[in-house]
Amino acid sequence: MPSSPAGSVLALSVTDLVKRYPSGTEALKGVSLEIADGEFFGLLGPNGAGKSTLIHCSTGLASPTSGSIEIFGHNAEGNYREAREAVGLAPQELNIDWFLTVEETLDFHGGYFGMNKKDRRERIDELLESFSLTEKRDERTRELSGGMKRRLILARALMHRPRLLILDEPTAGVDVELRLELWHYVKQANLEGTTILLTTHYLEEAEQLCSRIAFINGGEIVDQGSSAELAERFGVGSLEDAYLELVGRKELSRAHVGADPEAGQ
Ligand code: ADP
């Protein structure tokens, strides 16, 4: 069983992961990644880098071509059930059943993960309270505002008390207030001990929330470290500039804005 330096089991351990789709696209080309228990980890990369594929392989939605994934020591293929139970996934799309009520949405999810009725009821009360959804308990999900739907998706991901919460671009296309609100809930979950894997293309989001970040590009992890370490390694002043170096677009750097184009070229 892989261990973090402190000796505890890793939340996520990905080793030499390759994913080749039937179309022939090699979306992951031998990815290895370790996330320690309790970390807030960011996975950053441009569109098509392989972020969703890595998440899908980690949650059993896609099967790897080769390599392995362990979640809290459970092999994602061999010990599928245990591995799956340890993960909560908040997908980017609003994949809610519009005919269910808020309470039913959480209750069915808990039932799917084998929680008994009493436990489900207690957990639902707790989550509705912390996500400010108590008054919406009996409302059909289709009647919720956009912000409430996003909160419900997060609450549902946490319903079965996963130790690892995976967030696939949770704030794509949401307004500033909702983004800040979602950050608040996710930070709270992390403070309560949940390990977080966040994929995002908002660099500011990764910088503010994540203690460690991996850059993925073309199906490969190209670098990882804290935001400051990455900026230093790329020889630039910010995570954004490190990212622009990575994707080969350093001419877009805000550090150049207003600079004399003739100077220092
Ligand atoms: P990201 O989430 O970083 O945008 P993806 O994991 O979605 O990247 O995609 C990585 C690569 O795999 C892309 O080239 C994409 O077109 C391809 N891809 C993703 N899903 C499939 C699929 N189901 N079948 C074939 N190719 C896919």
- 261 vs 182, more confident: 182
Given the CA of residue 19, which atom of ligand 1 is nearest to it? 12
- The average confidence (pLDDT) of the chain is 89
The mean per-residue pLDDT over the stretch 190-207 comes to 90
Q: How many angstroms separate the CA atoms of 114 and 92, rounded? A: 25
Q: How many angstroms separate the CA atoms of 81 and 55, rounded? A: 16
The mean per-residue pLDDT over the stretch 28-32 comes to 97
Q: How far is the CA of 26 from the centre of ligand 1 (A)?
A: 9
Q: How far is the CA of 48 from the centre of ligand 1 (A)?
A: 5
Q: How far is the CA of 53 from the centre of ligand 1 (A)?
A: 6
pLDDT at position 258:
55
pLDDT at position 6:
53
The mean per-residue pLDDT over the stretch 183-187 comes to 90
Q: How far is the CA of 25 from the centre of ligand 1 (A)?
A: 8
* Secondary structure of 159-221 as H, E, C letters: CCCCCEEEEECCCCCCCHHHHHHHHHHHHHHHHCCCEEEEEECCHHHHHHHCCEEEEEECCEE
- Give pTM, 2 decimals: 0.90
**Residue with CA nearest ligand 1 atom 24:** 21
Q: Which residue ranges have their beta carbon within 6 Å of ligand 1?
A: 21, 23, 25, 27, 45, 47-53
| Strand-pair category, 40-44 with 195-200 | parallel
Q: How many angstroms separate the CA atoms of 48 and 51, rounded? A: 8
**Residue with CA nearest ligand 1 atom 13:** 48
pLDDT band at 1 (very low <50, low <70, confident <90, very high): very low
Q: How far is the CA of 50 from the centre of ligand 1 (A)?
A: 6
* Closest among 165, 240, 175, 234 to 206, alpha carbons compared: 240
The mean per-residue pLDDT over the stretch 3-17 comes to 80
> The sheet that has 74-75: what strands, in order across it?
26-35, 12-20, 66-71, 74-75
Q: How far is the CA of 256 from the centre of ligand 1 (A)?
A: 33
Specify the DSSP class assigned to residue 92.
S
pLDDT at position 37:
97
Given the CA of residue 25, which atom of ligand 1 is nearest to it? 26
Polymer length of the chain: 265
- For the packed helices 117-130 and 146-158, what is the interaxial angle rounded to 10 degrees? 140
pLDDT at position 213:
95
**Residue with CA nearest ligand 1 atom 16:** 48
* Closest among 180, 207, 202, 173 to 40, alpha carbons compared: 207
pLDDT digits (tens, 9 = 90+) for 211-252: 999 999 999 999 999 988 888 888 888 888 888 887 777 888
